Amino acid sequence: MFFHIVLERNMQLHPRHFGRDLREKLVAKLMKDVEGTCSGRHGFVVAITGIENVGKGLIRDGTGFVTFPVKYQCVVFRPFKGEILEAVVSMVNKMGFFAEAGPVQIFVSNHLIPDDMEFQSGDMPNYTTSDGSVKIQKDSEVRLKIIGTRVDATEIFCIGTIKDDFLGVISDPGTTS
């Protein structure tokens, strides 16, 4: 799920930036530093949308650097256990398939794919029901439920399932198991 939250960060700025456009420099550096990062607690920082306030700077002993506490609003993407969302299938193999929901990768193991769907190899590997009415392959859109998350320093990785009511390939009501 995407959230709009306020975060705080201490920004260090080199003295050569002090001047009329100090604030712009600070904001530009903040965007460069923060956008695209990921933390386990807040998820992926997608975009900074505004600056709440810039606190008083503090000169660091020994260096000329000044630390500013900056409060900023941003859009973050944070997946949760138990959350249901839509995703695009990016890879299919006999172990299951990978899907992407924005910046996050979700793996759905073949144990968590309905039992009536069989893996079919070929140049377009896919999972298909025995009657061929439902097919999961690369670029399919699926609705899945996240059942586990693993948090890395720079990435969040999720495990999902489509073995539940109202989950599975989108725009095909027959997929519900």
Sites of contact with other proteins (CB under 8 A) = 1-5, 35-38, 44-47, 49, 75, 77-78, 80-86, 88, 100-103, 141, 143, 146, 164-166
Cβ proximity to other proteins: between 43 and 96 the closer is 43
Cβ proximity to other proteins: between 100 and 118 the closer is 100
**Shortest spacing between CB 103 and other proteins, in angstroms:** 4
In a 13 Å sphere around the CA of 146, the CA atoms on its Cβ side amount to: 23
Cβ proximity to other proteins: between 73 and 128 the closer is 73
Nearest-Å Rg of the Cα atoms of the chain is: 22
**Shortest spacing between CB 147 and other proteins, in angstroms:** 10
Cβ proximity to other proteins: between 66 and 149 the closer is 149
What letter represents residue 138's amino acid?
A: K
Rounded CA gap, 127 and 118, in Å? 5
**Shortest spacing between CB 41 and other proteins, in angstroms:** 8
Pure H helices in the chain: 22-34
- How far is C-alpha 34 from the geometric centre of its chain's CA atoms? 14
End-to-end C-alpha distance for the chain, whole angstroms = 25
